[in-house]
């Protein structure tokens, strides 16, 4: 299977909010193509009520069999990178980025599970060019096959109305 990868730095923003149940919210701000490997969180910017972090680096992998999803993403205006975040009580910040993808179908499968947070950010030009080149090189259009239906025979009713051979209809005669 043909697979290519690129490292992406994850930039998260922690914003203070006025809410009786939560003190802050997390938002994706950006991804940084080619970021150095590392899981350590670093403060990038700090303002009153707001802190931006480089929250680690994830590996974005693209696969030959998923080019249809990449094409769909590239057709969006703008294309996006989906970053999956997981709440983790053991993590210092309480949230951990664990997956970056450019396939909307993969992101949707995590949304369906309803356990993780799926955030999206505009795709940087370098990532868009890389994905576009990969799709151009590896995408194979899948032909649409329609199943052949058997012609309708009005003499044959639904299966529950058919009688086994040898049985005749009793027309009230005993």
Structure confidence at residue 149 (pLDDT):
80
Q: How far apart are CA 10 and CA 28, in angstroms?
A: 8
Q: pTM of the full predicted structure?
A: 0.77
pLDDT given for residue 103 in this prediction = 95
Contacts of 3 (CB under 8 A, 6+ apart): 61, 62, 63, 64
Residues 6+ apart with CB under 8 A from 154: none
pLDDT of residue 153: 75
* DSSP 8-state assignment for residue 151: P
pLDDT digits (tens, 9 = 90+) for 39-88: 788 999 999 999 999 999 999 999 988 999 999 999 999 999 999 999 88
Task: Report the C-alpha gap between 165 and 167 in whole angstroms.
Answer: 6
Confidence (pLDDT) at 162: 58
Cα 147 from Cα 110, distance rounded (Å): 31
Q: What's the confidence (pLDDT) of residue 164?
A: 59
Identify the segments of the chain with pLDDT beneath 70: 1-2, 157-174
Q: Look at the block and give the residue holding tokens 């309480």.
A: 94
Q: Which of 90, 124, 111 is nearest to 99 (CA)?
A: 111
The reported pLDDT for the residue numbered 8 is: 95
Token pair belonging to 21:
């149940």
Return the DSSP state at 136.
Answer: H
């Amino acid at each position: 299977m043909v697979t290519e990868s690129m490292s992406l730095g994850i930039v998260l923003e922690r914003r203070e909010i006025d809410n009786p149940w939560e003190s802050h919210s997390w938002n994706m701000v950006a991804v940084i193509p080619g970021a150095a490997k590392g899981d350590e969180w670093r403060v990038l910017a700090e303002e009153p009520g707001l802190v931006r972090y480089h929250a680690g680096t994830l590996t974005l992998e693209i696969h030959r069999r998923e080019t249809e999803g990449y094409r769909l993403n590239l057709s969006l205006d703008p294309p996006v990178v989906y970053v999956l975040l997981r709440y983790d009580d053991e993590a210092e910040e309480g949230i951990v980025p664990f997956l970056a993808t450019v396939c909307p179908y993969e992101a949707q499968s995590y949304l369906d599970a309803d356990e993780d947070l799926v955030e999206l950010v505009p795709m940087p030009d370098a990532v868009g060019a890389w994905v576009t080149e990969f799709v151009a090189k590896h995408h194979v259009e899948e032909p649409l096959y329609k199943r052949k239906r058997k012609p309708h025979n009005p003499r044959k009713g639904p299966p529950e109305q058919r009688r086994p051979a040898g049985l005749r209809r009793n027309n009230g005669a005993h």
